[in-house]
Chain A
Amino acid sequence: MQPPLDIQTTDGLQLHLPIAGVGGRSYAYLIDWHIRILFVLLWFIAIPLMFGEISALENFFSDLASRSKEFIAALVLPPIVVYLLYHPLLELVMHGRTPGKRMAGVRIVTTQGHTPGVGAILIRNIFRLIDSLPVAYMLGLLVALSTRNAVRIGDIAAGTLLVYEDKVEKKLLQSLAATSADSGISPQQWELIHELLSRWGELDRTKRIELAVRLLQDIGETVMPENSQSMLDRSLHQQLQRILQGGGHGAA
Chain B
Amino acid sequence: MAQHDPLSHWLEQRISQWQNFEMRLRRQITQRHTRIEDAMALVVQYRDLARDLSLARSLLPNSRLANLLQSLFMSAHEVIYRPPLHLGQQLVNLIVIDIPLIVRRLRSAIIATFSIFLLSALCGWLLVFNYPPLASLFASEAMINTVQSGDLWTDNLLSIFPAAWLSVSIMTNNIIVAITAFVLGAFYGLGTLYIIGMNGLMLGGIFAFTREYDMAGALFKFVVAHGVVELSVICLAGAAGISLGEALIRPGANSRASAFQQAVQQGGKMLLVCVVFLVGAGIIEGNVSPNEDFTLTSRLLIGLGYGAVLYVVMTGAWRSGKTTAFRRTT
- Interface residues of chain A, those whose CB is within 8 Å of chain B, are 9-13, 15, 113-115, 119, 122-123, 126-127, 129-130, 153, 156-159, 166-169, 172-174, 176-177, 179-181, 183-188, 190-191, 194-195
Q: Does B180 contact A (CB under 8 A)?
A: yes
Q: Are B11 and A130 in contact (CB under 8 A)?
A: no
Q: Are A158 and B11 in contact (CB under 8 A)?
A: no
Q: Are A15 and B184 in contact (CB under 8 A)?
A: no
Q: Does B311 contact A (CB under 8 A)?
A: no
B contact residues around A188 at 8 Å (CB): 60
A contact residues around B81 at 8 Å (CB): 10, 114
A contact residues around B265 at 8 Å (CB): 119, 123
The count of residues in chain B whose C-beta lies closer than 8 Å to any C-beta of chain A is 46
Q: Are B70 and A158 in contact (CB under 8 A)?
A: no
With contacts A11-B50, A187-B60 taken as known, whether A157 is within 8 angstroms of B1 at the C-beta atoms is no
A contact residues around B268 at 8 Å (CB): 119, 122-123
Q: Are A179 and B71 in contact (CB under 8 A)?
A: no
Q: Are A168 and B186 in contact (CB under 8 A)?
A: no
B contact residues around A166 at 8 Å (CB): 67, 70-71, 74
CA of A153 to CA of B11, assembled, Å:
45
One of B14-22, B32-40, B206-214 contacting the partner: B14-22
| B58-95, CB < 8 A from A | 59-60, 63-65, 67-68, 70-71, 73-74, 77-78, 81-82
A contact residues around B11 at 8 Å (CB): 176, 180, 187
Which listed residue, B16, B67, B260, touches A167 by the CB 8 Å rule? B67
User: Closest Cβ of chain A: how far from B93's Cβ, in Å?
Assistant: 13
With contacts A159-B261, A186-B2, A187-B11 taken as known, whether A153 is within 8 angstroms of B68 at the C-beta atoms is no
| B142-182, CB < 8 A from A | 179-180, 182
Q: Are B8 and A157 in contact (CB under 8 A)?
A: no
CA of A188 to CA of B2, assembled, Å:
11
CA of A156 to CA of B186, assembled, Å:
11
A contact residues around B68 at 8 Å (CB): 168, 172-173, 176
Which listed residue, A115, A129, A157, A180, touches B12 by the CB 8 Å rule? A180
Q: Are A184 and B19 in contact (CB under 8 A)?
A: no
CA of A9 to CA of B80, assembled, Å:
12
Q: Are A168 and B64 in contact (CB under 8 A)?
A: yes
User: Closest Cβ of chain A: how far from B87's Cβ, in Å?
Assistant: 10
CA of A194 to CA of B3, assembled, Å:
20
With contacts A129-B179, A130-B186, A187-B7 taken as known, whether A173 is within 8 angstroms of B71 at the C-beta atoms is no
CA of A140 to CA of B8, assembled, Å:
49
CA of A126 to CA of B185, assembled, Å:
13
CA of A179 to CA of B12, assembled, Å:
10
With contacts A157-B264, A186-B5 taken as known, whether A173 is within 8 angstroms of B15 at the C-beta atoms is yes
A contact residues around B228 at 8 Å (CB): none
Q: Does B137 contact A (CB under 8 A)?
A: no
User: Closest Cβ of chain A: how far from B29's Cβ, in Å?
Assistant: 10
Q: Are B8 and A123 in contact (CB under 8 A)?
A: no
Q: Does B301 contact A (CB under 8 A)?
A: no
Which listed residue, A13, A15, A130, A195, touches B183 by the CB 8 Å rule? A130
CA of A12 to CA of B179, assembled, Å:
41
CA of A169 to CA of B81, assembled, Å:
25
With contacts A166-B70, A177-B15 taken as known, whether A187 is within 8 angstroms of B179 at the C-beta atoms is no
